[in-house]
Amino acid sequence: MAIGMVGHVMVLVMVLIQILSVDAQGGWQLLQKNAGISCMHAAVTHFDTVIMLDRTNTGPSQIKLAGACRNQPLERMLKNDCWAHSSMLNPGNGAVRPLRVETDTWCSSGQFFDNGVLVQTGGDFEGNKKIRTLAPCGAGGNCDWKELAEPLAWGRWYASNQLLPSRIRQIIVGGRSEGTYEFYPKRKAGEGAFPLAVVAGGADNLYPFVFLLPNGTYRASRTNAVGAPASKRCGRIVAAAGNAGWAMEDMPMGRTMGDMLNLPNGEVLNINGAGNGFQGWGKAGNPVLSPVNYNPNAAAGKRFAVLAKTGIPRMYHSTASILADGRIIVAGSNTHHFYTFTGAFPTELRVEAFSPPYLGANFNAVRPVITGASGVIKYNQVFTMTFNVATRVGGVTVFQNSAPFTTHSYSQGQRSLQLKTTVLVKVGGGYSMQVTACPGNNIAPPAYYIVHCVQNGIPSRGKWVKQNN
């Protein structure tokens, strides 16, 4: 990618490799040869743009800031830094636009508010107590990061965020050597942090898994680096059950540092990662190049399917994010302390799009096209969804998926809901059904979600909807 400046406008010249086909195992497209940064954190906005972040203390990236240089006297690498460490990707054509962060976002955390604003908290060194927000925009917009004067109560490095049912507040849990949680915004002036035993007691408490359960409680667990080789074991649990226990089975291959994403048809994709080692600089090898699809409704022993492999290793500090059109944006991977483009597993600036098998042209005849659905829904609301499809076959379902903040093999705030639907009614050249929104904010906190109409396992292009109280 060549980058030039014309006045205050950044011009990007890109080389894109078009996808050849999507077969029974899916297909890959090289979307951007050089995104300018290695993507450590990623989030998809309701404008279908992708916000990407790295850390600031890497030294020069490969994309310059569009305006004045960043002057940060506490920065440990470049105190006068003219390079961007965040960017916005247009997944339609692969174009990237530099964004400006003022303090270090290394191993920070994030989550969307109900109005679509992305909140980003903590980081390393001078960014440790910082709160940043970004009100997203479309591909042609000029939105950017805003750093707030209000600090976190405690420094958060490797913490986790979860939007609360109130829609206007997030809980921020843990972080390296930080056995507490706090809220943003604070519930009252001067509110600090609160101890939480499950995330206390060590420096290896990195990105605790935090989930809002349907009964309104929260569950957090610690994560720790474990040595090679990667395990094949996979478990699922009904976490809100009174006697909850794990049901275990084996994946087709071992994988560490994988990214698990809820797909629009109710299935799960496990992508990225390594076959040996753990997170850290040069601590992993044997990249796992093939995604694996998991169908929770299939019979035991038939739930996993190995999909088409990429040629690009994605290990430590890589990301995967799902778009409304059903593609997976895959970016990042940097097993080195700084940008290193030689030797084994060089710093990765390329961005790929993986198309799961459901996007294959052989399914076009049975792929629904949503022609009508409410853009704003309330809890328990019954609304009409209409769609067209060339060939009717099998069952029709509706899924509502959240837009998480993804980093370090964990998608913070990820949720997938199957909504209640009525029997289809033929209307003109298409079909109509009644859809019942989810019953409450413990199940789906108010926010923007992607709704898909799914026929016989093949999803439509998603429609962004606003879930309100």
User: How far is 22 from 19, CA to CA, in rounded Å?
Assistant: 8
Asked if 281 and 393 sit in the same domain, the reply is no
Asked if 284 and 429 sit in the same domain, the reply is no
Asked if 121 and 226 sit in the same domain, the reply is yes
User: Which of 311, 336, 359 is the last residue before a domain boundary?
Assistant: 359
Asked if 257 and 404 sit in the same domain, the reply is no
pLDDT at site 457: 97
Asked if 245 and 117 sit in the same domain, the reply is yes
User: Which of 318, 333, 359 is the last residue before a domain boundary?
Assistant: 359
Asked if 45 and 167 sit in the same domain, the reply is yes
pLDDT tens column, 251-300: 999 999 999 999 999 999 999 999 887 777 878 888 999 999 999 999 99
User: Which of 295, 327, 359 is the last residue before a domain boundary?
Assistant: 359
Asked if 379 and 419 sit in the same domain, the reply is yes
338-361 mean pLDDT: 95
pLDDT at site 139: 96
Tokens of 147: 């750093």
Asked if 228 and 305 sit in the same domain, the reply is yes
CATH number where 154 lies? 2.130.10.80
Domain of residue 30 covers 2-359
Residue 8 has pLDDT above 80, yes or no: no
Q: Who's near 179: CB < 8 A, 6+ residues apart?
A: 195, 196, 197, 199, 200, 201, 205
Residue 12 has pLDDT above 80, yes or no: no
Our count of domains for the chain comes to 2
- For residue 363, the SS3 value is helix
User: How far is 218 from 210, CA to CA, in rounded Å?
Assistant: 7
Asked if 371 and 341 sit in the same domain, the reply is no
Tokens of 307: 């999909």
Asked if 381 and 328 sit in the same domain, the reply is no
Asked if 296 and 276 sit in the same domain, the reply is yes
User: How far is 106 from 156, CA to CA, in rounded Å?
Assistant: 10
Find which of 203-207, 215-219, 296-300 is predicted with most confidence, using mean pLDDT.
Answer: 296-300
Among candidate residues 428, 440, 430, the one with its CA nearest the CA of residue 391: 430
pLDDT category at 140 given cuts 50, 70, 90 is very high
CATH number where 429 lies? 2.60.40.10
pTM (predicted TM-score): 0.92
Asked if 353 and 445 sit in the same domain, the reply is no
